[in-house]
Amino acid sequence: MTVAQERCGSLPEAPFEASARGPLRGVRVVDMSRLVAGNMLSLQLADFGADVLKIETAGAGDPLRDWREADGDEQFDGWWQVYGRNKRSVALNLRSAAGLEVLLRLLDTAQVLVESFKPGTLEHMGLGPEVLHARNPRLIVVRVSGWGQTGPYRELPGFGSLIEGFSGYARKSGRDGDPPLLPNMALADMIAGLTGAYATLAALRELEVGGGRGQVIDLSLLEPMAAIMGPDAAVYARTGVQPDARRKIASPRGVYRCRDGKWVCMSGSTEKMARRVLETIGRGELCGDPCFSTNAARLENDAQVEEMMQEFVGRHGLAECLDLFRAAGVTVGPVYEVGELLADRHVAERGVYMRSRPADAQDGVVMHGITPRLSGTPGALRMPAPRRGQHTAEVLRAAGFDGGDLEALAAAGAIECE
């Protein structure tokens, strides 16, 4: 057993099944996006059976391929392996007229186009929505950008980190007194990708029932982040309270350090649950104390609540602490590191993560399972993340290009075939 396999613990193996069908079988998506948001969007569609043609720059590929982690003397392209799954790679030179013509031929057969260029770039390429809809009136054009296709910031760079700061998320993260904290993940991009996937499904539904016309989806990274920030804006507008790292919505609620150095997270977000917590830590008498008998009162005296919680948790190891609170029906859980998460029996038995089995990889790749779970037409792993240009010839032949065409296009530098 290799070290990588040992780290996977008892994660289930998930073979690739090329013939697996999903509810989106028959939907073709041409994905011209780069990096995370567009790839997250098209991944959701690909996992449920859509034929996603990943358009990559000939000779370079999607920059997501370059996000690598050290693996001994080599580099592991984990981002691409996870978010490139279930897609076919077509490598084109879109700076050439021949490459653009190939793209247009593919778009004639597609239901969805995903792009993440700076607003106006698609028009500069001669591929504005009006041009595309003249050729394919049913095409759904998903335009991913940082700030949106309109507004004074539309042309500014818009990576997710900027959006996480601009949206207020970074300001309300971290610990009291610390600087604002950016998430150590592509949070804004991921949320935009998920939002874009359901917007695409809504537009596909409109194709079915609303007259068969395509449309443009203007997907910024900013608005989905605003949508998950809760009622912060409403609360501020009404009360003037500025949300930040100190503001809580319930008490007791937080993370607490156990005797063995491990951490638990706990939430008493209902009165019933809060009473269970206080009773478990031996302070049940406070349930009748006006200073602690309601959530509003506990928030006013949260420093005392936190002190009581930490004192109790700090006297117990993680396993004992979980047993005590779970026996009382308290909403409590461990704060895991990745290795602990992968070793958890619930994660393994449910297949939250799984180890894929591409034919050319000894250890496979650990990746998240298909989510959400459909009982009748579930998603599936159909193919591993492709090599750059792996499917160029295959896709173009199916689009009507013959061997001579492919040779001529390759010689002209318009395409890259593996």
Q: Which residues are catalytic?
A: 189
SS3 194: helix
Q: Which residues contact 14 (CB under 8 A, 6 or more apart)?
A: 351, 354, 355, 356, 357, 369, 381
Q: Which residues contact 143 (CB under 8 A, 6 or more apart)?
A: 115, 116, 119, 122, 149, 216, 217, 218, 219
DSSP code per residue over 376-398? SS-----SPPPPTTTTHHHHHHH
Total Cβ atoms within 10 A of residue 189? 27
Total Cβ atoms within 10 A of residue 339? 9
Q: Which residues contact 397 (CB under 8 A, 6 or more apart)?
A: 406
Total Cβ atoms within 10 A of residue 198? 11
Give yes or no for a cis peptide into 243 (omega within 30° of 0): no
